[in-house]
Structure formats: structure tokens, C-alpha cells
Amino acid sequence: MQTHNLGYPRIGSQRELKKALEQYWSGKIMLEQLVETGKSIRQQNWQLQKEAGVDLIPCNDFSYYDLVLDCSLMFGAIPERYHHLMQQKYCTEIDLLFAMARGCQREGYDITAMEMTKWFDTNYHYIVPEFTANQQFSLYSNKIVDEFLEAKNAGFNAKPVLLGPISYLLLGKEKEAGFHRISLIKKLLPVYIEILKKLSDNHAKYIQFDEPCLVLNLNEEERQTVFKTYQQINKQFPNLHIILAGYFESYGQNLPTVLSLPVQTIHLDLVRCPQQLDAVLNTDFVLKKTNLSLGLVDGRNIWKNDFQQSFILINKAVQKLGSSRIWIAPSCSLMHSPCDLNLETNDGILVPEIKQWLSFSKQKVEEVVTLRKLVMDSSSASVQLQLKENIAANESRKTAAIIHNKKVKDRVAAITQKDAQRKSNYTARKIKQYQALRLPMFPTTTIGSFPQTAEVRTWRAKLKKGVLTNVEYDRLIAKETAEAIRWQEEIGIDVLVHGEFERNDMVEYFGEQLAGIGFSKNGWVQSYGSRCVKPPIIYGDISRAEPMTLKWTAYAQSLTKRWVKGMLTGPVTILQWSFVRNDQPRSETCNQLALAIRDEVVDLENAGIKIIQIDEPAIREGLPLRKENWEAYLQWAVNAFRISASGVKDDTQIHTHMCYSAFNDIMQHIAAMDADVITIECSRSQMQLLDAFAAFRYPNEIGPGVYDIHSPRVPSTAEMVALLQKAQAVIPANQLWVNPDCGLKTRHWEETKKALHAMVDAAKEMRLLMQQTKIL
């Protein structure tokens, strides 16, 4: 019985990679220093897993930005707009990677970034591969071989990890009509064969192919392509041990195809779908020699493994297959989990009582090894002690007083359909809102946050340490807020925001003020690139004791005669971007959040705030991966949003915001949310996402993002006008708002001011063009 890990967090236990990346991008360190940081993180990760007793340690699970982007670079799938840049001496392989991810504006180049979207139903973002009909592939980067040799030469029993060819293609996007990306497999597979040959020549014995798309609803042609692809790989490399890893769901109707593949080990995510173990064991799979990797330790949440439940599953598999064919692993890569619970010391902000129930990546690796010992060395005194401690911790959680609140449960039980309905339909509300707000055509706004400078972050740190008093801190925040309001007025933005200088994170800020939610001090996970987040830990019933945002929103509104938006994070997004309790349905927790946000919305309205934005960037990513499960999720998720938004009068305008998502297949549910205005990220897709809204004849107002805030590149006014004209071609002008793609917290003021100036000018030009059209 072997143990292995599918992947380990690459940010470093103290976010070393984030800090090094941002120093390199700002010119404060050289490339060599960045590379050395990466090497140090890899070595530490490998050593930690070796010391824990993991048999097979993953390599090539490290990336300076994103593993899917690494594949595009490796396979030479580099969009044409970067080809001139590749010829410049200063453009190293890593610099090209960053240009593809972030765009490039230097020395006469002005190149847009590649599109970014969510990785399945997680809060991680990947860079979407771009494919053309005549797409060519060739080996461009040897990163996977280099990192395997690095691990091997350092004495680690390493298995290279590589995104499988099927998932790589399906996760990409056709940039022109007339073909389907899966048809490119014949051109792509020779590059995979070349990579495998290099690894084999360097004595790699194992390789892990991540094929998460095998848990999606594939058609018969796609399943045939899967089978033929792995047949060819096996034919070329019959002695290479292939580990096929699907995760986040069951294989569903793809299971017969998966079980027929000529691979040596098949991985099952038994956290998300434990019942699929029976589905496998009840087939003729038991007659084969293929190994089964049991994904028992939750790679996406932070709760301790239940050793008793895991042992039942292991024992069931052992009885059918024998222990030699069983491998023990986490459910998926641990990149979605924080690094080390041991970093949560007594001076942290974690609720002390809940620490005993938690497990971060380092502890999850240890759990994997312990599970093996429970089966193979169960009589050991140390193993029995670990089992006893695990049982005690899990039992204590079931009865802990800090988890249960009867008032909250009773309020949720009393929810009726009326609580999820506005007083009037959108058509009636729109008239009242126009009369109350008197906004121009193409009204301009931002999504909420403004740049949080090092100085602003320092104030918050000093407040926590007691260096600043609350009065001193408030004075600084008030000054920053007032300056942001004045600047927005000066450049002519129509609907202002207060800037959110008092907020650390759009979810964490709310979680800190809600009962039933705790926080770690160092529980960081990667969202994209250098962007890391520290998800809240929802451990109990949720309630709001007092207003959370009213103070600073009302203050900002008092400084101006223009409208200031109230800025809130929606219940589904708080749920999706948190580590959620696993002892009750997620829908129940979401309704608790919805009621807390509803109370905040009503308080804002009572204070004279007429425009309130309830961000739901995560509602699409929360979709179950299998379509047959969508309807149930969408019903409770949309209803939770409506509960949060429906306590206000008709003339109060409710906005929502959504991040990079494909909306085509859920448009009726987006419409059912009944937000008066929706803002979406559109710039990287060149407004293509609007096609879904146009085809659906979406009746409410829409703010398609006109510039990409995930890139430091500053677009021109002409570029934004061109995007708005694309939008106007499919959406009526009187429905359009003008705004950036997302919040501006991670950007610098210099680029932000330039971009917003250009954005306001673009809106003015669109209004002028409308007037000229009317005259003509």
C-alpha cells in the first residue's frame, strides 16, 4: 500500500513566492533571485513530504503563475500577438510567461493578456489556452524535465505531474469558428510523447496525468478520444507507470471509459463522491491489475479527516483488491489548502477551540501517511494514540456550544417565498429608480475597491499591534476616503465608491464581523498569480450583531452630492470563498449568510444609500460539475441572493458583480436573481461574454468591464470606446453601464488614475456619438 500526494501549495508557508513575484515585477529584485526563491520553495515542499513518509512526491506542481499557462508555454501554444516579444533578448521564458498572464506595455509593445477564468468550482483562476483552427504545437519549455531532475538529484522519489492532453484542450478556447478544440489532439499528442520520452530517458518511473475534465459531462466522441489518446501513450511507453487523476466529482457516465484505459493507477476523489468506490468495486475492475488511488483526505477544506470513516472505505477496497493495489492520497492537489496549521500560534486570531478540528496541507500529508499505518500497522501504540485523538477531536466538534445558535436556526426555518421577492417587478422599479437617481446614459462607476497602498496596509497592521488607536486609525481612513471621493468627483465618475480602505479582503472583512466565522493568521491560499487570499472558516451558525459597512459608506455619502454605492459581498460568494463547515447542508449555511446581508442592506437604505452592490462573483463557480446537479444548486443559491436583496424599496437600485464566467447555460438563473444592474468581467474576452445576455434578451442593466484590472496595462480611451461599441451592438445603449472589470485593490494609483480617466472619457465619447446619431 503506497502513499502519494497530488500536489502541494506553491506559494510558500510565508507567501515567499508572492513577495518575490511582486518585487520582480516592480524591478526590485533580479530574475536570478526570483528563480532562487522558487527553488527554495520546491526543496522545502519536497523535504516536508519526504519527512512525513510520503512514498511518491509530486514535482512540476510548482508554477511561477499558473500550471495551465505553463502547459501552453511548454507546448508552444503561444498566441501570435506575443511572437515579436519572444524575439527580444530581454524576454526570458519566465518573462514571456508573465506577459501572457498579465499583458505587456514596454518599449513600444502594448499586448493584452490572455483570458483568465475559474478552475472548475474553486476560487483559483487559470489562464485559458487560446486555439486556432491551424494551431501548431511544439516543445518550447523543458520545465517539467528540469524540475524532475532537480528533485531526483536532490534525492527525492519524485513523480512528475502534468495536466493531461484531454483536459488541456477542453479547458481552452477556440479563437475562431469552424472547429472544435478536441480535434487538435492529433497535433498535440506528439508533444506529449516527446515530453514523456525525455522523462523516460531520464529514468522517470511514474507520471501523474491530471484529467479533471473526466468528471464533466463528456459526449461519446470525447470519450472515444480519451480512450484512443491513452492507448497511444501506453503503446509508446508500456513500462511507464501512468497515474490518472480525476477529482472534484465522480467520473459518472465516463467511468466505463476510465476503467478501460491502459493506465496503471486510477485516482478517485472519495471526499466529493465516496459512493463511486462501490461503483468501481462492483465492476470487472477487480479482475484487473490496475491500482486504485483513494482520495480520502480533503484537499479543498480544512477539517480534520475522520479516520474511522476513511478506514471503512479503505477496508472495503482492500477486501476486494488486496492491500497491494491500494494507494492512499488526498482527494486533489493540496494547493487549495493553507500550508501549515503549526503556524497558527497563540498570538493569532484563530478561535482557539476550533484549532483542534483543523488540518492544513502539512497536516493532511501526515494524515495520508497515518491512514496507511492504520491499515498496515494498526497494533502500533503510536498509531492507536493518533486514532484515539482523532476520534476525540471529531466527537467534540459535534457537541461544541460555539457551533449552534437556536435563534439563527429558527430565523432560517421561518423564511418564506415573500422574503425573496422585491415589491415590484423590474419594469416598474426601473422607472422609479430613474426618477430617483437621474443618471446619464452610459453611467460610469467602479466595482468597489481602490488601490490599497503599502501605507494603507501599514495602518491596519499598526492598529492590530496597538501602535495606532482606533481614533487615530479612523482619522487616517477618513482622510483617504475623502480624497478618493474628491478625486472621483473631479474626473466625473457618476456613481462613486468610498474605496474600501478599511477592508482587508472582500470576504474576510465581513467574516470578521459575523458570529460563527473564524480566521487564521497564516491560512493563505493562491487565487491567481501573486494574489493570495485568507478564506474565513465557517465553523458555526452565522449572525450579524451590528452594521458592518454603514459607518464608512454613510461618511462617504456625506461628503458628496453624487450617489455613493454601498458595497457588500453576497451570501453565495462568502460561502464559496470560505472554508465551510461540513456538518450541515451548504444551502442552510448560505441562508444564514443571506439573512445577515439582508439586515445590512436594509440598514444602508435607511441611512440614505440608494445604490447598493451585492457582489456575487462566485455564483457561477459554485455550480456542481455535473449538469444533472445544477438545478438544485441554482435554486437555493439564487434564492439566497434574492433574500439578501429583497428587503428594500423599489427606488433603491441593487447591483451585483460577477467575475470571469461562462453565462450561456445559466442565463435564466442570472435573470432570476433580479438585480437591477449586473456588472461582469468582459475585457479579456473582447465582450464575447455579452453574447449570452444578448441571445437571452436580458432585460436589466449591464456593466460590461471595459478594462482588465488583473493586468498593469493601461488601455486607451479609443480601445474602451471600441469595446463599448461592441457591447452596444448587442445590448441596447440604455441598458449599458461603464466600469472596470473588477475591484482595483491590487492595482497601483498611477495606472488606476490613468485608466479611469480614459474610462470616463470613453463614456463621454459614447454619449456624444449617441447625440450625433440622433441628430443624423
Q: Give 727's Cβ-side CA count (13 Å radius).
A: 31
Structural element, H or E, at residue 281: helix 276-281
Give the span between the Cα atoms of 40 and 45, in whole angstroms.
9
SS3 letters across 185-199: HHHHHHHHHHHHHHH
Q: 590: helix, coil or strand?
A: helix
- Spatial neighbors of 632 by CB under 8 A, at least 6 apart, are none
Q: 441611512: which residue's cell?
A: 607
Query: Which string of DSSP letters, residue by residue, matches 705-733?
Result: B-S-TTSS----HHHHHHHHHHHHHHS-G
Q: 487538435: which residue's cell?
A: 184
- Residue 523 one-letter amino acid: G
Give the span between the Cα atoms of 657 and 677, in whole angstroms.
8
- Spatial neighbors of 219 by CB under 8 A, at least 6 apart, are none
Give the span between the Cα atoms of 238 and 222, in whole angstroms.
23
Give the span between the Cα atoms of 630 and 639, in whole angstroms.
14
Query: Which string of DSSP letters, residue by residue, matches 598-631?
Result: HHHHHHHHHTT--EEEEE-TTTTTTS-SSGGGHH
Distances (CA, A) of 370 to 296, 377, 384, 639: 12, 9, 10, 42
Q: 162: helix, coil or strand?
A: strand
Give the span between the Cα atoms of 257 and 317, in whole angstroms.
20
Give the span between the Cα atoms of 625 and 428, in whole angstroms.
37
Give the span between the Cα atoms of 679 and 615, in whole angstroms.
9
Residue 130, strand partner residues: 173
Give the span between the Cα atoms of 731 and 725, in whole angstroms.
10
- With beta carbons less than 8 A apart as the criterion, state whether 655 and 679 touch: yes
Instruction: Work out the number of other CB atoms within 10 angstroms of the CB of residue 671.
Output: 18
Q: 444: helix, coil or strand?
A: strand
Please give the grid coordinates belonging to residue 468. 495606532
Q: 503563475: which residue's cell?
A: 65
Give the span between the Cα atoms of 540 and 522, in whole angstroms.
21
- Residue 46 one-letter amino acid: W
Query: Which string of DSSP letters, residue by residue, matches 569-583?
Result: E-HHHHHHTSEE-SS
- Residue 318 one-letter amino acid: V
Please give the grid coordinates belonging to residue 458. 501599514
Instruction: Work out the number of other CB atoms within 10 angstroms of the CB of residue 616.
Output: 29
Distances (CA, A) of 699 to 191, 425, 613: 47, 11, 18
- Residue 82 one-letter amino acid: Y
- Residue 461 one-letter amino acid: A
Q: Which of 267, 498, 669, 710 is catalytic?
A: 710
- Residue 469 one-letter amino acid: T
- With beta carbons less than 8 A apart as the criterion, state whether 375 and 558 touch: no
Residue 506, strand partner residues: none
Q: Among candidates 758, 682, 689, which has minimal Cα distance to 720?
A: 758
Q: Is 757 a catalytic residue?
A: no
Q: 125: helix, coil or strand?
A: strand
Residue 265, strand partner residues: 243, 291
What positions carry a catalytic annotation? 710
